[in-house]
Amino acid sequence: MFFGRVPVREAEGAMLAHQVRAGETAFRKGHRLEGADCLVLAAAGVTEVTIARLDPGDLSEDEAAAKLAEAALGPGLRADPAFTGRANLFATEAGLFLPDPAAIDAFNLIDPDLTLATLPAFRRVVPGEMVATVKIIPFAVPGALVEAGCRQLAGGAMRVSPFRPKRVALISLRLPGLKDSVIEKTRRVMEERLAALGSRLVSEARIEHRQDTLESCLAGLDPADFDILIVFGAAAIADRRDVIPAALVAQGGRLVHLGMPVDPGNLLMLAEWQGRPVIGAPGCARSPRENGFDWVLARLCADLPVSGQDIQRMGTGGLLMEIVSRPQPRAGEARAGASGAPGIVILAAGRSTRFGAENKLLAPFEGQPMLARVLEIARTAGQGPLVVVTGHEAEKVEALAAGTGIRLVTNPEYRDGLATSLRAGLAALPDGSEAAFVMLGDMPRLHPETLQRLAQQAVEQPGMEAFVPLFRGQWGNPVLVRRSLFPDLMALTGDQGARRLLEARRDRVAEVPVEDPGILADFDTPAALEAAAGGPAGALPA
């Protein structure tokens, strides 16, 4: 192909490379000039134009794009007519888009003049959604080049695997702390999920979260009545020997895989029972937001087998952005004041008598008052409403803690012990707060990620009432408690905190391992503070 500037009188039969105006007439880019066009241009004073002239065997950009798009078409796809060297491909039915990355890479490596861009593999698509585009860079390309591209794309470079109607059975396991409203919401969300995939819920069972109860439930199921079985535990599946996988194996099932490199969705289980796939759903699947559960369910509804290795290959792109319990890069609903995110109650009313005359919360720690550092940690964690309870030297503490999004509560009974501040803080939370962190004001070494991890576990384990961070076998602070525990916590007296109550209910408390020594680090003396200030993040006091 020739490309360059030529006199107008020599341009007949060539394509314009750029738009040219001749008085009121405009000749667009790509227009094939006829003899009359050249006369109009010359009469308007145009002496030269930039053109593209095809050589023998060349195909114009539109001809090339159309041929390549046709070659790339697989089942469930159609192509629009090419225009300006571009041909777009669209889905004709709802399903999962399946490009062949190796074939598409090989095509794009043939020559820079040929390009093909697609949606990611396994993207859910609907009829009429664009899934790929072929673009020819120059005005024309050699026919032999196009033929090479067609050979590379032919034979299944991309297709749509359509969703097929599936009958889904649901089993929900229950513990005393799991509200009926949570299970009802889970069912509604599941029905909406399935409807979007062209499938439906055909049965539901609600039973105790026990292995023998689940085994009995499975024994009573007829696999001919459903295509997929989904099991929601009241607590997350923590091990291959946990209730749900153990019951399935005991009833002749096979565990395919536990865990997945998709977040949210890490604690998913995939199994097989009586020839039917079984999904042990992670807690995040109770929410309609996209998570790893959706990826597996969609494949099964599109008749695509899912192996353990398939799940292990989901890590690239598996860090989803919709999770509500982490701040950055996922702000979501976990921003301060967001409904649904746990509130944070910071207890900052104590007299710190062992610290001496100075209020330790106002003592400098790495260039800022200790309480200011704790507030920074709380804000960074990106949870719900933030309440600071003051008492001793209330005016000084409130002056330090005042700020947007913080509710200050003065506890006039602070001298009567920690329980009075706990009661005041919980009472100050908005009515919509379903859970709250109880956080101490003298823990400046705490990692914000610890609060985020506790909040995520609350999503994953809806049947648990409290969540305690664990470092090297020791319980630490802060703790996360659900509203169901608020009345008992507010009934405490004296200098009691939440610890004694939680120890008495260990079966309802989830221990959450964290790599954060800061959960154990508070500072009761000036010497301890001086020894720790300036040390490595998370260091324990001497």
Give the domains, in start order, of the chain with CATH numbers: 2-53 (3.90.105.10), 59-162 (3.90.1170.30), 167-312 (3.40.980.10), 332-532 (3.90.550.10)
pLDDT at 325 over 60: no
Q: How many beta carbons lie within 10 A of that of residue 346, not counting itself?
A: 27
- Conformational region of residue 303, where left means phi above 0, alpha means psi within -120 to 50, and beta covers everything else: left
What was the pLDDT predicted at 459? 86
Q: How many CB atoms lie within 10 A of CB 248?
A: 24
pLDDT of residue 540: 42
As beta bridge partners, residue 481 has 436, 466
- Bridge partners of 281? 232
pLDDT value of residue 528: 64
Residue 366 predicted with pLDDT over 90: no
pLDDT band at 352 (very low <50, low <70, confident <90, very high): low
pLDDT at 167: 98
At residue 541, the pLDDT reads: 43
pLDDT of residue 361: 86
d(CA 237, CA 90): 40
- Residue-wise pLDDT for 242-274, tens only, equals 999 999 999 999 999 999 999 889 999 999 999
Looking at per-residue pLDDT, the higher value among 90 and 4 belongs to 90
pLDDT at position 17 is: 81
Which residues, listed in sequence order, are joined to residue 21 by a DSSP beta bridge? 26
Work out the percent of the chain whose per-residue pLDDT is above 90. 56
- 252: region left, alpha or beta (phi > 0 left; psi from -120 to 50 alpha): left
**Of the candidate ranges 303-312, 323-332, 466-475, the one whose mean pLDDT is the lowest:** 323-332
CA 144 to each of CA 56, 58, 59, 151: distance values in angstroms, whole numbers, following the listed order: 11, 8, 9, 11
Q: Which helix (H) or strand (E) holds 65?
A: helix 61-72
Q: Which two tokens stand for residue 281?
A: 């759903």
The helix or strand, by DSSP H or E, that contains position 426, with its residue range, turns out to be helix 418-427
Confidence of residue 339 (pLDDT cuts 50, 70, 90): very low
Residue-level pLDDT at 539: 43
Return the higher-pLDDT residue of 473 and 103: 103
Q: What is the pLDDT of residue 335?
A: 36
Among 320-324, 364-368, 405-409, which is the least confidently predicted range?
320-324
Overall average pLDDT of the 416-434 stretch: 89
Residue 442 has pLDDT above 60, yes or no: yes
pLDDT of residue 113: 95
Distance between CA 293 and CA 262 in Å, rounded? 9
Which positions ≥6 away from 120 have C-beta within 8 Å?
Answer: 97, 317
Residue 477: count other Cβ atoms within 10 Å of its Cβ: 23
Whether 341 shows a pLDDT value over 60: the answer reads: yes
Angstrom distance (rounded) from CA 170 to CA 533: 53
Average pLDDT, the chain: 88
Task: Look at residue 535 in the predicted model and tell me its pLDDT.
Answer: 47
Please state which of the ranges 350-364, 495-509, 511-525 shows the lowest mean pLDDT.
Answer: 350-364
Condensed to tens digits (0 to 9), the pLDDT of residues 279-295 reads: 999 988 998 888 999 99
Question: Apex CA 11: angle with CA 8 and CA 14, to 5°?
Answer: 150
Q: What is the 3-state secondary structure (H, E, C) of 16-76?
A: ECCCEEECCEEECCCCECCHHHHHHHHHCCCCEEEEEECCCCEEEHHHHHHHHHHHHCCCC
The secondary structure of residue 267, as a DSSP letter, is: T
Higher-confidence position of 364 and 125? 125
Tell me the percentage of the chain whose pLDDT exceeds 70.
91
Q: What is the mean pLDDT of residues 131-147?
A: 94
Closest CA to 49 of 89, 82, 3: 3
Check if the beta carbon of residue 299 is closer than 8 Å to that of residue 306: yes
